[in-house]
Structure 1
Amino acid sequence: MSRLWIMGCGDIGRRVARLYQNQGVEATGWVRSAASLSVGVKQGLAMRLGDMDQGCFFPRNAFEEAEIFWLLPPPPSGGIDSRLRRFLLAVQGAPKRIVLISTTGVYGDCAGRWIDESEPLKPQVERAKRRADAELALQAWGNQYNGDWVILRVPGIYAAERLPLERLQRGEPVLLEAEAPWTNRIHADDLAQICVRAMQVAPKHSIYNACDGEPLSMTAYFNQVAQATGLAPPPQLSLAEASSVVSAGMLSYLQESRRIKNHKLLNELGLQLLYPNLAAGLKAVMRNN
């Protein structure tokens, strides 16, 4: 059986590992902090500690014929994903398959249009540009070594532990519904099963939008979370008003709008999502709390 590595084994990585554990398959998680290492060990995972920014990696033969989930985010600044590029340079043609977590942010602003995987990439903010560079690096690796890769473009991730409850409790404003951008999301458990399915059955060199296919406006998202959790709905501001009070990072999210199809994901991977929309996900959250 191929060796299985989860590079960047945080919350999503541990969910992926748990699915393999349920099948009796052991995964090795790679993390950058002792705290993350401890959490993985408590779950019963084989864990390794390393820092890609310092050029720390195992010998190439550690990844010989390995199946690798690359969940490690790019560095927080710059225009390239130097972590992934450094890793690919080290492992060369050793891995059997690499599944990369990217972002739907690589599409940039689509003015609310419905898009699929054929949409040209036009990342507008630095974090999305680094993700686009990671995709290019992985594709170049595949061309050089005949390497097998799959790319998952992921939108906002939510789960019981990943809801904007503190923001709602603080009463931070959102945009007027009429001005709010379209946003897309996926439940963390669904993303984990997508990762596993992509590793197991996706055709070589496939790209998928890993979303639930039922976008909402950003304002509708916050309102639904507030209603489900019994919190007050957030106040609403116009975009002109919000531009003077929200952070630059949040403003960049408000300036991108797209509705993303997931037909290819569901059809090619034969998937049935646990939570096909936010309402289903929030219902499960409240049932389990």
Structure 2
Amino acid sequence: MNNPNGLQRNDFGGIVDEIIIVGCGYVGTRLARQYLDLGLSVTGLVQSPAGVERLGAAGIPARRVQLAQGSLTATEPLGALDGARVFHLAPPSVAGSEDQHTRCLVDAFARTGHPRRVVYISTTGVYGDCQGAWVDESWPARPGADRARRRWDAEQTLRRWSAASGGELVILRVAGIYGPDRLPLERIRQGQPLVRPQESPFSNRIHVDDLVAACVAAMERGRPGAVYNACDDAPSTMTDYFLAIADAAGLARPPLIPMAEAAGQVSAGMLSYLAESRRLRNRKLREELGLSLRYPSLADGLRACGIVRGD
């Protein structure tokens, strides 16, 4: 992948240290390649043998770890994390309002050495339902869904770690991620209904390549303790998002239903997203981190995904 925003070797201050990517999946694999292409040392941590094999095929050194409740176990020694730069991309626990995975990771820091800096990939869901208001990083966190409460718990766990250890923390609150092989094409093909546009909540998104660039910028230039909204310039409604993808891919548009009928026709997960509406501002990401988005709108990003008819 090309270096986003013209990132060069000297942007790292000449420091060659270990970069650890916890949860090296869809985003992490691209992030690892970004650093490896600059000649830096990267290790991806994944939870399954298939993950290790996948990263190995991509030329990315990998270790298998389990972020289990009460401990962090590895099939081989993790090695010292002291002074490393860590991207925490691993998903939180699957239930409850606390993220035991992040708590276990912080416990592991105490045993293996504290990182110099952690960039945590959180969610804009921590803002909760903002009733369509424009939201910047000063908006209070009021997570309404358990999935967002777990992310908020992880943020607080990492803030306590930073205060106690002196390690630096930067938080990216990330909107919905899309990109190649990360589009709801099968849902659209199945004809699952959407809420009518006039009733659909506002949502936000970011192309995976721009998120990788935001991760690098946060690691290299983010202020310790800072929070940045990671999203593109053009929020739209949830329904507009699906319709734009259907049109770009040449698929039939799904049926549109009133919000009052959604509970009986869409999944519980989709209902939880439909219960929240907000439009995110990314000025801090662009101005403080100096990030220039390659795909400032969904239309720009879809062309890069290779699904637009005629491309």
How big is the shift at 1:56?
2.8
Q: Distance in 1 between matches of 2:181 and 2:194?
A: 21
Q: Distance in 1 between matches of 2:213 and 2:165?
A: 28
Counterpart of 1:12 in structure 2 is: 27
1:66 has 2:67 as partner = no
Which SS does the other structure have where 2:173 is aligned? Answer: strand
Matched residue type, 1:228: A
Matched residue type, 2:95: S
1:81 has 2:92 as partner = no
**Per-residue displacement from partner, 1:178-224 (whole Å, max 9, x unpaired)?**
00000000001111111111111111111100101310101110111
How big is the shift at 1:21?
1.6
Q: Distance in 2 between matches of 1:193 and 1:238?
A: 38
2:116 to 96, 101, 104: 96
Which residues in structure 2 correspond to 1:88-237 (within 5 Å)? 88-92=106-110, 94-237=114-257
Aligned residues: 289
How big is the shift at 1:52?
1.1
Matched residue type, 1:238: P
Counterpart of 1:255 in structure 2 is: 275
- Kept in 2: contact 1:60–1:94 (CA 8 A): no
TM-score normalised by L of structure 1:
0.96
- Kept in 2: contact 1:2–1:66 (CA 8 A): yes
How big is the shift at 1:61?
5.9
Counterpart of 2:6 in structure 1 is: none
How big is the shift at 1:228?
0.5
Q: Distance in 2 between matches of 1:175 and 1:128?
A: 23
Q: Distance in 2 between matches of 1:205 and 1:158?
A: 27
- Kept in 2: contact 1:57–1:87 (CA 8 A): no
How big is the shift at 1:26?
2.4
How large is the RMSD of aligned CA atoms in angstroms? 1.5
1:36 has 2:51 as partner = yes
Report % sequence identity.
47
Matched residue type, 1:117: E
Q: Distance in 2 between matches of 1:211 and 1:229?
A: 23
Q: Distance in 2 between matches of 1:252 and 1:60?
A: 37
Q: Distance in 2 between matches of 1:61 and 1:218?
A: 43
Counterpart of 2:7 in structure 1 is: none
Which SS does the other structure have where 2:62 is aligned? Answer: strand
> Displaced runs of 4+ in structure 1, greater than 4 A?
57-61
TM-score normalised by L of structure 2:
0.90
Q: Distance in 2 between matches of 1:53 and 1:255?
A: 31
**Per-residue displacement from partner, 1:55-81 (whole Å, max 9, x unpaired)?**
234678610100000001111012211
- Kept in 2: contact 1:12–1:192 (CA 8 A): yes
Structure 1: 5+ residue stretches without partners:
none
- Kept in 2: contact 1:6–1:28 (CA 8 A): yes
Matched residue type, 2:60: L
Q: Relative to structure 2, which stretch is displaced further, 47-56 or 199-208?
A: 47-56
- Kept in 2: contact 1:182–1:215 (CA 8 A): yes
**Per-residue displacement from partner, 1:99-157 (whole Å, max 9, x unpaired)?**
00000000000000001000100101110000000000011111111220000001110
- Kept in 2: contact 1:60–1:90 (CA 8 A): no
Which SS does the other structure have where 2:177 is aligned? Answer: strand
Which SS does the other structure have where 2:181 is aligned? Answer: helix
Structure 2: 5+ residue stretches without partners:
1-15
Which SS does the other structure have where 2:306 is aligned? Answer: helix
Q: Distance in 2 between matches of 1:33 and 1:22?
A: 25
Matched residue type, 1:202: G
Counterpart of 2:37 in structure 1 is: 22
Q: Relative to structure 2, which stretch is displaced further, 87-96 or 8-17?
A: 87-96
Which SS does the other structure have where 2:121 is aligned? Answer: strand
